[in-house]
Structure 1
């Protein structure tokens, strides 16, 4: 099973690295950034991270079900397991340049709880990968609260549709 996940992961990472894989972050309002940056917002950031993680799990599952109508639960479980991982969230976030938020935002977030060194370095430590994935999930949770589930799903589908296709191919070829 580990070899299968590795094959899917490698295919997905290769797809993310391609120049044609391009998108932008979901936009957050200044008011949302201000709430996230408040000194008292640690609990709220953690709650949004939890929410973003849960939303990605559900959204990826829904997209898989629709995009691969003949898929088996085994395929869905393996593909979702890779696509809903901190490693993939981090790779997507780096490609989307999630850290290209205004400098004041990045400095504040880095000092608060996402860790110094949360840069787009290719050899991140496990805590740095987790910190970047957490930031990605937090932004998605905040976007959901701002815009709703429909716009979040549309954004995720735009990003993940080609990754799902690559992951399905890797699963079937394995």
Structure 2
């Protein structure tokens, strides 16, 4: 039994549980509407909340990290569906939610006091959609301030889980970061990739200028070690943070650029996630493409430098506009 799971299921945790934050009535109703394909459901808010929770967790763990393995282990443990589902249960989010009959029955049949099996996924989805709504209404700094005092004890307990794990040596190991290969999802068409490359080509002068600022910010003393197949070996903890930061930026840019996506009754999260997948899946090819630009630096442009450079690219990227029919359902992107 994980210590984190025991803590979340205990009465002690109830006195420290996350209070419901203030949301406008309209946004609160949308955040708690889990009925798929219904008007103003929480599908997109859930996607936003997933990105926000992942980034918040890795940033909070980064402040108290023991070693890179611990940061990755604890960050992922805090943001997994099991943890978020238990948080939603203690917050009684399901009491305010519009649910399908299947989801409502699954929640009624589950309790941390009676069963040790994972909570229904819809509970984790409710937590993420609530976080997404808070981020949308109050902004990122306010969201992080709201989450920080509550997640801090969870970081400490999850770290105990890590230290007690029989697989852990509590050393800084040879850790190969291959996060873009671990991403699973729909395949990206060659046409989509070519459109991305064409965008980079058109913007290369501007991106070269602004990208240099990001690279210059990295200390000259920074060293990078690569494995035999060219992947980054050290600094995997920073790559973990950069990955979630890039994912959040893509989400933020896309939602702010095309607010009409919020009216979609389905597939909104899917379309946004394709943008994330396009970059993460083709990151090695995009890195190689950057070598053809006039971007030069007194140090080699390593993988980690390029991650920051790509972050600048992402902030300037604009995706396909949505086509919405009269009912608000999302059609194929143009």
Shorter-chain TM range is 0.7 to 0.9
Report if the CA contact (8 A) 1:12-1:166 is conserved.
Answer: yes
| Alignment partner of 1:75 out of 70, 85, 92 | 70
Once the two structures are superposed, the pairs formed by residues 10-159 of structure 1 within 5 Å of their partners are 10-16=2-8, 17-19=10-12, 20-36=15-31, 37=33, 39-42=38-41, 45-66=42-63, 68=64, 70-101=65-96, 106=97, 109-111=98-100, 115-117=103-105, 118-119=107-108, 121-122=111-112, 123=115, 129-159=120-150
Structure 2's unaligned 5+ residue stretches are: 166-334
How many residue pairs align between the two structures?
154
Q: What SS class does the counterpart of residue 48 from structure 2 fall into? A: helix
C-alpha distance in 2, partners of 1:11/1:34?
34
| Alignment partner of 1:168 out of 152, 159, 164 | 159
Q: State the structure with more CA Rg.
A: 2
User: How far is 1:57 from its partner?
Assistant: 0.4
**Which structure exhibits the higher relative contact order, with contacts defined as CA atoms closer than 8 Å and separated by 6 or more residues?**
1
Structure 1's unaligned 5+ residue stretches are: 1-6
CA distances 1:101-134 after superposition (whole Å, capped 9, x unpaired): 3xxxx2xx2039x8222346334876x6211111
User: How far is 1:58 from its partner?
Assistant: 0.3
CA distances 1:123-165 after superposition (whole Å, capped 9, x unpaired): 4876x62111111111110111011111211121122100101
Q: Kindly tell me: are residues 125 and 171 of structure 1, through their superposed partners in 2, closer, same or farther at Cα, counting changes over 3 Å?
A: closer
User: How far is 1:24 from its partner?
Assistant: 1.1
C-alpha distance in 1, partners of 2:155/2:134?
22
C-alpha distance in 1, partners of 2:121/2:132?
16
Q: What SS class does the counterpart of residue 22 from structure 2 fall into? A: coil
Q: Kindly tell me: are residues 35 and 15 of structure 1, through their superposed partners in 2, closer, same or farther at Cα, counting changes over 3 Å?
A: closer
More helix by share: 1
TM-score using structure 1 length? 0.76
What stretches of structure 1 move > 4 A for 4+ residues in a row?
A: 34-38
